[in-house]
Amino acid sequence: MILYFISVFYIGWLILTCANQPVFKSNKWISHHDLFRLVPVWTFFAPNPGVSDFNLLSRVKLEDGTITTFQEIPLRSKKELSTALFNPERRLQKALNDHARTILMQIDNEITEQNKENIKLTFSYISVLNYCAKLPLAPRAYAIQFIILESFGYQELMEPRLILNSDFHRL
């Protein structure tokens, strides 16, 4: 009897996995309810692979009104044989990339000219702002601004484009 229940449980899990792929409408419902992320999406880099990189830059306004130059915050680490085994930076950069991609999707799909201020209330915007604001900054920094750029690889297939240009936020 236990074997029967466990077999049904596993078969159900496999069916849910198949139903969670983006070609099916059930994908959104399953993903939304999958708190423990146990029903994966296995489409890795398909059907539309990511063909761009995100670049995160920030600058600060000093108390005297001077604005510093943009500094790039690294979102990619150098690939070496050692990082093929152990790459802690990837975990940080993956989170920042996930936020950048979410911001891009929100701007493309949800944000319009009328509600563009809403982007500042999103989780990803606040998280990136929080992260940038806590990096070592110039002395007497008063406010911070960040931008997200999308670039198109080593062989630049297209000009980089600006995804987001944040306001200056008081520190």
Q: What is the contact surface with another protein in residues (CB under 8 A)?
A: 2-3, 6-7, 10, 13-14, 17-18, 21-23, 35-38, 40-54, 75-77, 79, 81, 83-92, 94-99, 123, 126-127, 130-131, 133-134, 151-155, 157
Of 40 and 120, nearer to another protein (C-beta) is 40
Shortest Cβ 22–another protein spacing (Å): 8
DSSP string, the chain: -HHHHHHHHHHHHHHHHHHTSTTSTHHHHHHHH-TT--S----TT-SS----EEEEEEEEEETTS-BPPPEEEP------HHHHH--HHHHHHHHHHHHHHHHHHHHHHT--STTGGGGGGSHHHHHHHHHHHTS---TTEEEEEEEEEEE-TTTT-S--EEEEEPPPEE-
Of 71 and 127, nearer to another protein (C-beta) is 127
Of 52 and 71, nearer to another protein (C-beta) is 52
Shortest Cβ 147–another protein spacing (Å): 17
Shortest Cβ 113–another protein spacing (Å): 25
Shortest Cβ 122–another protein spacing (Å): 9
Of 140 and 153, nearer to another protein (C-beta) is 153
Shortest Cβ 143–another protein spacing (Å): 17
- Per the document, the length of the chain is 171
Rounded to an integer, what distance in angstroms lies between the CA atom of residue 131 and that of residue 133? 6
Q: Are 102 and 127 spatial neighbours (Cβ–Cβ below 8 Å)? A: no
Of 66 and 153, nearer to another protein (C-beta) is 153
